[in-house]
Structure 1
Amino acid sequence: MADTPNAVALARLHTADVLVGWGVASDAVETAKLLVSELATNAVRHSEDGEVSTSPPSSHGGVQTFELFLEVVSGAVRLSVWDRDTRPPVLKEVGVDALGGRGIFIVAAMSRAWGYYPARTAPGKVVWAEIAFDATGPHKDLDAFVSSPGQPPDGGLPAFGDVRADPDLVGRVLVGINER
């Protein structure tokens, strides 16, 4: 996807369209849209040199891209986003008054597992998150139905699936975000 102002919204729409087509239950689709939004936002915000972008993409001289992969693995939907930033994602605890920095915290809290690995064919990294799903409709056996171009993380690379946030804290943070 092109790193443009509407990229995150388009990533959410694409995710919803694909997952609904696969017969994924609506609550899992909503969670996937939230996680894709956070992962895509991080990909859009960070430029090739790893610095946070503060200028509009049109002023960069060329449009950067990021890639979104959706796949089904072991009873879960895996959402993966590749970007050019080689720095690993950082799980931070931020105060309720903070204006940002909650993306990976939300990903960790809302996914059954998440992590990252260095991109294998280009500079950068792939950040991924998995959510459990309940399939409905004609494609209940999604593991057999879906093949993906995404590459699963290697067992020896860092994974952060054991990091879980307090659901009450996540709820308070989300209420604080909505009240702004």
Structure 2
Amino acid sequence: MAHEPTRRSRPALADTPNAVALARLHTADVLSGWGICPDLVETSKLLVSELATNAVRHSEPGQAPALPLSSQSTVQTFELLLEALPGAVRLSVWDRDVRPPVLKEVGVDATGGRGIFIVAAMSRDWGYYPARGLPGKVVWAEIALGSASPGGDRDASVSSPGRRAADDLRAPGDARADPNLIGRVLVGIKEL
């Protein structure tokens, strides 16, 4: 029986503010080329946007980023990995920060801090692990193919050992708006 090889795309991006937009564009181009449906491409763009934003913001733990034209500016890179797995798309971002991502609930007036919450809400599973042979960590999220509801099609076989599934981190009561619609709205706002 022939087994289709896993498709992968692995660009390295500079941890500059325009990297997030480039990561979104790359994700849309690659996933569309793989024949992924447009709704899942939009959800993937949102998740990549959140993961890449965290990689750029937290590229050097404990330090604020230097101004772009500053003599102290040192540009580093992070990696985006897109994988077409059987029944899912996995989005992974490697960054140099060893601190784990923190899922937190923030108030409606907060100007940030929603990234991992959005990743947990919009993916069927997510997690992180220490980077192998490199400083930092890899944060990943999976989106089920052929599923209209990101959280509704969980499969324990895809969870990484020792990682908490997103269901463990969600608030009780799963009555919420269509996450694909929320994702498209958030992507639209970010692109303004």
TM-score tier by shorter-chain length is: 0.7 to 0.9
Counterpart residue number, 1:51: 62
Q: 1:21 Cα shift?
A: 0.4
Distance 1:102 1:88, change over 3 A: same
Distance 1:121 1:153 in 2: 22
With normalisation by structure 2, the TM-score equals: 0.73
With normalisation by structure 1, the TM-score equals: 0.77
Q: 1:91 Cα shift?
A: 0.2
Counterpart residue number, 1:31: 43
Matched, 1:164 2:170: yes
Aligned-pair identity (%): 70
Any stretches of 5+ residues in structure 2 without a counterpart? 1-12, 148-157
- Higher-RCO chain (CA-CA 8 Å, sequence separation at least 6): 1
Q: 1:160 Cα shift?
A: 3.2
Counterpart residue number, 2:53: 41
Q: 1:57 Cα shift?
A: 4.3
1:66 is paired with a residue whose SS is: strand
Matched, 1:84 2:90: no
Matched residue type, 1:46: H
The one of 120, 129, 137 equivalent to 1:125 is 137
Distance 1:154 1:101, change over 3 A: same
- The size of the alignment, in residue pairs, is 157
Q: Does the CA-based 8 Å contact 1:39-1:81 persist in structure 2?
A: yes
Q: 1:72 Cα shift?
A: 1.9
Distance 2:165 2:127 in 1: 5
Matched residue type, 2:138: V
Q: What is the 5 A alignment of 1:1-180?
A: 1-48=13-60, 50-51=61-62, 53-59=64-70, 60-134=72-146, 154-156=160-162, 158-162=163-167, 163-164=169-170, 166=174, 167-168=176-177
